[in-house]
Structure 1
Amino acid sequence: MNVLRHSVWILAFLLLSGSIGCERTPVAAVTGAKPSTNTAEVRETTFDDLKFEMEKTDDFARSMITPKIEDVFDRKIRIRGYMYPTLKRKGLKGFVLVRDNLECCFGPGAALYDCIRVEMDTDETAEFSIRPIAVEGVLRFEEFADMDGTTRAIYLLQEGSVD
């Protein structure tokens, strides 16, 4: 049942973000995306920077977020990770970025701090890759719950671009 619920929240996010299904208008792929013009404003971040104390069996509470993590919200960051597998391969307007491609993240029970929902910038799209990628965008706190109310993601990267 855990695998099914985990898959359902990913599918729900992909449907809402337009990452699966038919494209309405073709948009240029992000391969070779333009680098940020002001790299001083981009904070290099890792998944370790977003980690907080939480047992897998705990319910999420906003108070778990540390002040150090709060300081990263609403800032432009650059973070490396892997794309969670999608049904669509090109023209992605959104996807889930995970810490690594091992079973801990692609299987059931991934930690909340090990995944980030990514919404691409208006004129950007991405192509699915099994290789590590770097994503740049503005990190926000936004809870994403599945149909039974279980929080499945808490981080959202908006205005995203992929290197």
Structure 2
Amino acid sequence: MFGFLVLLALTLTLGSVPGCQDGSSLSGLGTSEMASNAPGQGVVGADGRLHAGTATDPVPIDIDFLGSWTFERKENPFPPQVVALQDKVVRIRGFMLPDLGFEKIRTFHLVRSLWGCCFGAAPRINEILRIELPPALAMDYSYTTLEITGPLLVQYQEEDGLIDDLYILNALEVKELAYDDPEAPEDFDPSQVDWRNLEAGQRPPLMPKRIPNLEEDGQETSSKNRGGP
């Protein structure tokens, strides 16, 4: 796992993409773009309902929503539906990708799928959130599904050609739920994997590459049956 984390850090540079030529930067969003966040207006969540975006009525979102647009380098790359979430309290589920350590973690990245992230392609820059925990919520590494609630910062900042994390969530609450990875094979048991020592791209040894009876017949199986993408 540590080898994978180093590889992802080099790929994203903690949420960064190299190659900026114009040095553009956007540290905040304009008032006209924030009109949808005016008092009295709600924000539509993943459940299709309006939410106030407060601690008592957070906006339910998911990483598919945050990554449903194509990132381009320009003064404000964010679509209106993402801008509407600026400073709103949201609730989102995902999996922990620690930056370095595995104990008393206060900063990590949240991804859609632990399986897909570790054994597939790295997430795009708008498919990953940086999670900041206060001291009281510091936690050890967990492979379970996490549900995190807190205000969301939407930002576009570049320094030396590197793009910082587009999404930063300052957690007010963290819940550990049952493991429910949308991209993992049905028979995958995460408790049997030594996540801390798993190398980049290494497939967990407990997963079969073929269903035995199909392999004997020389038939190909789906990626789900093979136990990997």
Q: Output the TM-score relative to the length of structure 1.
A: 0.65
Task: Please state whether the residue corresponding to 1:157 is helix, strand or coil.
Answer: strand
CA deviation vs aligned residue, 1:46-74 (integer Å, no higher than 9, x gap)? 112212432xxx65335331111111110
Q: Which residue of 1 aligns with 2:89?
A: 76
Q: Tell me, in whole angstroms, the C-alpha distance in 2 between the residues paired with 1:140 and 1:95.
A: 15
Q: Offset at 1:103? A: 3.9
- Equivalent pairs: percent with the same residue? 22
Task: Please state whether the residue corresponding to 2:169 is helix, strand or coil.
Answer: strand
Alpha-carbon RMSD: 3.0
- Tell which deviates more after alignment, 77-86 or 103-112: 103-112
2:168 pairs with 1:156: yes
Q: Offset at 1:112? A: 1.4
Aligned match for 1:48, one of 64, 71, 82: 64
Amino acid aligned to 1:141: V
Count residues with an aligned counterpart: 131
Q: Offset at 1:158? A: 1.2
User: Does the 8 A contact of 1:86 with 1:128 survive in 2?
Assistant: no
The structure with the larger Rg is 2
Q: Which residue of 2 aligns with 1:5?
A: 10
Task: Please state whether the residue corresponding to 1:97 is helix, strand or coil.
Answer: strand
CA deviation vs aligned residue, 1:18-62 (integer Å, no higher than 9, x gap)? xxxxxxxxxxxxxxxxxxxx86421111112212432xxx65335
- Correspondences of 1:1-163 after superposition (within 5 Å): 5-6=10-11, 8-9=13-14, 40-54=56-70, 59-104=72-117, 109-143=122-156, 148-163=160-175
Q: Any stretches of 5+ residues in structure 2 without a counterpart?
A: 1-6, 16-53, 176-229
Q: Any stretches of 5+ residues in structure 1 without a counterpart?
A: 11-37
Higher relative contact order, chain-length normalized (CA < 8 Å, sep 6+): 1
CA deviation vs aligned residue, 1:60-117 (integer Å, no higher than 9, x gap)? 3353311111111101111000111443222111111111113457766421121000
Q: Tell me, in whole angstroms, the C-alpha distance in 2 between the residues paired with 1:81 and 1:158.
A: 15
- The answer to which structure has the higher strand fraction is 1
